[in-house]
Amino acid sequence: MTDRDTVRLESLEPDDLDGHTIDELADYLDAGMLPADPSIDDSPACQNALAAIVRLRQSSQSSLEAAAAAEAPADESWISGVLANISLEARAGRDVPLRPAAPTEQPVVTEGAIRSLIRAAGDTVPGVVVTRCSLDGEVVQLDAPVRVTVEVGVRNGTHIPTAAALVRTAVAEVLAAHTHLELEAIDVVVRDLLPARTEPDTVTPEEDA
């Protein structure tokens, strides 16, 4: 299976990515992002999606190889689902206010940018691939309680409670650094169990070390 095979999602709406599709963005990556396309390079939604595709490819490659070597074939629909969520999450969405430094300021960060931060933070945890993330609450109002849900796939052999705690910590830290959201909770939901990597990449409790 090639990278191109995993990104054919014809059902995605181009409007989600400023007129582009996940398939077109994957082709752009495969071409080394040359010749430069300003409609992609200057689009925050496309840049968020490109970064997420790169992380997904890097994170899933060894799992796909392991599945290909096993009797059961790799489930391409799982990757297609993750890429579909990337496309939807990359949309700008609502404007989330930041605390102004002066009365005349009205700084905001888009909901899509926040979801990209959440996905990037979760993907840094070994053995974890973020499949979907969402913000629930009145994010357009400062100090309104917001609940963050992060859905993940976890590689076989990864200690799930430890991985979930690390995802929760990573997400809390990145949101504290870049937003002024009033976090009510960060829920980490394990939706998928993925094949183990071909090289060590697990999270285990300290007492098991």
Q: What is the pLDDT of residues 13-66, one digit of tens each?
A: 445 677 887 788 888 777 778 888 888 888 877 877 777 777 766 665 554 444
* Each residue's pLDDT tens digit, 173-206: 999 999 999 999 999 999 888 877 655 454 555 5
Contact between residue 55 and residue 70 where contact means Cβ atoms under 8 Å apart: no
- Cβ neighbourhood burial of 18 (10 Å; 0-12, 13-18, 19+): middle
Top-tier CATH class for 4-208: alpha beta
Domain extent listing, the chain: 4-208
Q: What are phi and psi of 23, to 5 degrees?
A: -60, -45
Give the CA distances from residue 5 to residues 43, 79, 153, in Å, rounded to whole numbers and listed in that order. 25, 10, 20
Provide the whole-model pTM.
0.63
Find tokens 């650094």 and name the residue.
177
SS3 category, 55: helix
